[in-house]
Structure 1
């Protein structure tokens, strides 16, 4: 099967299911599993090197003007000749919307291609979505899901009876955004209580002065790696002197709805409860 994955999370899932060699098209953000050789057919419409404030302003301006956040190379997608296209309709800022993909497929004569939309809102839906995606590409999901659930049970057992600090989780820092979708549950599973987060809903902008004092801050800027999170953690730490600040590679372990969310839970649990994990 020839698979075009237009979402980093689905690329990661395809790899975890042992089908990376079937990928014939990916996006510029698809960096896992390492060593992907498939052509890039989706690129960002934003300039590199922008600050978080500049990105936020540009995204708002483009959305207001009805401009896309991503560019799809239609000819490259046609040349890839996929049997199935993996896409999403969860967030037009985070990835190319499925409706745009469907329109493009029709324009380039690939309207008969199977389109599978991956749109989880909660952590449980991520796991269910992995199983559904596996079925769409003819893969077996049971071994992967069994391993993920085993690791989750190990974290639960290690945290039994452990005090849980109130955690301010920042999905963006300029302006500050509180997380939604599956992120609050990740934090709870890691042994903290996320404040003012929206389970299953969208992240939302807030004012710094409206945030209650936290016992720990988790800096998880959407799409940034660890170095980017560390850079943004500095100004946040100055706002909360004496409060532990934990930056995390959000692009790999928090906002990408794939198997490595479980690794994100493990990483956060170790950071928040070193006495239990070392």
Structure 2
């Protein structure tokens, strides 16, 4: 199977299924496994590099209002890759290339490829998506084994945290302006032994205000800016600290362990669970989450 992954989460799933050698095209964000040096990069960002949260938010809003894409597709490179299976999404036009653009390109290029649209909204949907990718790639047994292992780890977290007090957790998916979390993020907080505040299970993240954030009266704020790693989350937490004085903060590598709908969401839940309940679960490897004093 020749697989073109137009979504970093899908690339991660393909890697976890042991199908790295089947990848023939990826995106500029596909770093797990990092195959960008050895595979054609067919999707790139239309946004300039090196922008801060407020600048990114302003440019994304402006491009959306003008009907401009947030990503570019290298159609020639996709044609030359000649995939038999294309993995794409229609969940978020800000986070990845939309499925409609892919369908138009395949039709224009005359590529007779199967297309699997991966659109999970909840944590259970993510697990279902892993199995769907496995089926489409002819790796049903590997998919069942991977999802079975992830479910066992989730059950172990549930058992370790049973009966414990749940701190009130305000997760922020963006910091300038602040955004309430959506999709699977509230469920991640809940499975990690917290009580999620101001989020919408299975829904979209929504812009809010700092007054509203303070009104939630959280016990802790989880700084998880979409698409950013741990160092950037720590840096952006300084603005949160200024706005939410006196509230304990956690910063997490959101790009790897929160917003990417792949197997590492369970790693993220384990990391958050340890940060909230350090005596209940083992500490995660360095570089995933930081408790800020």
1:263 to 250, 254, 267: 267
Gaps of 5+ in 2: 283-293
What is the deviation of 1:158?
0.9
Q: TM-score by structure 2 length?
A: 0.93
CA distance in 2, matches of 1:53, 1:166: 27
Q: TM-score by structure 1 length?
A: 0.98
Pairing 1:254–2:255 present: no
Match of 2:91 in 1: 90
Pairing 1:169–2:168 present: no
Correspondence 1:112-123 to 2 at 5 A:
112-123=112-123
Match of 1:145 in 2: 147
Deviations 1:107-155 (A, max 9, x none): 1121x21111000111111111111111001013111011101111111
- SS of the aligned residue for 2:146 comes to helix
Pairing 1:105–2:113 present: no
Pairing 1:28–2:32 present: no
Correspondence 1:175-214 to 2 at 5 A:
175-211=177-213, 212-214=216-218
What is the deviation of 1:35?
4.7
**Where has structure 1 moved over 4 Å in runs of 4 or more?**
none
What is the deviation of 1:238?
2.2
CA distance in 2, matches of 1:236, 1:268: 18
Residues paired across the two proteins, number: 277
CA distance in 1, matches of 2:203, 2:256: 21
CA distance in 1, matches of 2:109, 2:249: 48
Match of 2:246 in 1: 242
CA distance in 2, matches of 1:233, 1:277: 25
- SS of the aligned residue for 1:163 comes to coil
